[in-house]
């Protein structure tokens, strides 16, 4: 049995939860199904399934291989449709990763527009405040807010964000506006942990260690505290773009802000890019470039 056919059998067994049911689905005898999976495991040199008299379960390696098989089989089917001139809209599942705040605030509506545009496309998100590895974790597309290291992964720059200090106008009216970095010591500070490398704020020309009675680990808590007039917060500009536009927050000490941070759309298919990933990347690039949340905020004088 050829490799693609064996992959199809393995996927059927994993999805059906048994060899007999997979055989019925594919029109094969149970021994043929068992033999195909055994040959596949032999070629790969690892066990893909745990077999008992009552159940069939994926091993850890089997779970990873299942995702790969589904993607490969979908790409082959897509290529065959294209070769036959039967062009169809992108189909299949695409996994997208980003930080929690960016995914919630910026990506969410963009992704639902993508689903509305392509009815045969399915999306799965992983919004986490860490760098998720595309290849190792079986992800397709990532939004990276950072300078990218040298990598073979394709990346498209779509904008940039700034690290900004901000506060509510009511807070500044009551406590005064800082005119220099040293003035921050006399203010209530909202210390968002993810924005303080080594516990310091990287301002220009110096790094400054905030002394704060309130430290939090989520951007949304820091943003809301600033809007409520609890003090001065340090956040990424996209996180407060709507608040600045509405006059709920103003930025401070802009001349001391460090250089902007680029935003990239990254994917893991450097050669032939599948239609589902290409459609996702193109949609994200088109909607993120020029997005008001990742355009430079106006200077406050």
pLDDT tens-digit readout, 62-111: 988 998 898 888 888 777 766 644 455 799 999 999 999 999 999 999 99
pTM of the model: 0.69
- Structural domains of the chain, ranges and CATH numbers in brackets: 3-83 (1.10.10.10), 92-161+261-294 (3.40.190.10), 163-256 (3.40.190.10)
Check residue 83 and give its pLDDT: 63
pLDDT at 82: 63
Q: Where are the beta strands (DSSP E) in 179-282?
A: 189-192, 201-202, 207-208, 214-216, 232-236, 250-252, 261-267
Tokens matching residue 224: 């809301």
Mean pLDDT of the chain: 89
pLDDT digits (tens, 9 = 90+) for 157-204: 999 999 999 999 999 999 999 999 999 999 999 999 988 777 899 999
**278/275 Cα distance (integer angstroms):** 5
pLDDT given at position 52: 82
Is pLDDT larger for residue 179 or for residue 2? Answer: 179
* Closest C-alpha among 238, 246, 224, 250 to residue 162: 238
Confidence of residue 279 (pLDDT cuts 50, 70, 90): very high
């Amino acid at each position: 049995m050829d490799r693609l056919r064996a992959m199809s059998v393995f996927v059927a067994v994993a999805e059906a939860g048994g060899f007999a049911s997979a055989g019925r689905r594919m029109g094969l005898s149970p021994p043929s199904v068992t033999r195909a999976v055994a040959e596949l495991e032999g070629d790969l040199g690892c066990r893909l399934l745990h077999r008992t008299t009552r159940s069939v379960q994926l091993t850890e390696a089997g779970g990873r291989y299942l995702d790969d098989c589904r993607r490969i089989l979908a790409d082959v089917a897509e290529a065959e449709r294209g070769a036959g001139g039967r062009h169809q809209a992108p189909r299949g599942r695409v996994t997208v990763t980003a930080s929690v705040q960016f995914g919630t605030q910026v990506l969410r509506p963009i992704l639902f527009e993508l689903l509305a545009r392509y009815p045969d496309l399915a999306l799965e998100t992983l919004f986490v405040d860490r760098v998720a590895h595309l290849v190792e974790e079986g992800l397709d597309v990532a939004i990276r807010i950072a300078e990218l290291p040298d990598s073979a992964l394709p990346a498209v720059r779509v904008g940039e964000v700034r690290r900004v200090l901000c506060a509510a106008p009511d807070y500044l009216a009551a406590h005064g506006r800082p005119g220099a970095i040293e003035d921050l010591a006399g203010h209530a500070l909202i210390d968002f942990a993810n924005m303080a490398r080594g516990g310091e704020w990287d301002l220009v020309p110096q790094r400054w260690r905030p002394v704060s009675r309130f430290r939090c680990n989520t951007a949304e808590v820091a943003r809301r505290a600033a809007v409520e007039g609890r003090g001065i917060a340090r956040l990424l500009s996209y996180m407060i773009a709507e608040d600045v536009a509405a006059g709920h927050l103003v930025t401070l000490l802009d001349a001391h802000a460090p250089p902007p941070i680029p935003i990239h759309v990254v994917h893991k298919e450097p050669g032939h890019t599948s239609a589902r990933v290409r459609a996702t990347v193109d949609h994200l690039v088109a909607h993120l470039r020029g997005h008001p949340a990742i355009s430079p905020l106006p200077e406050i004088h």
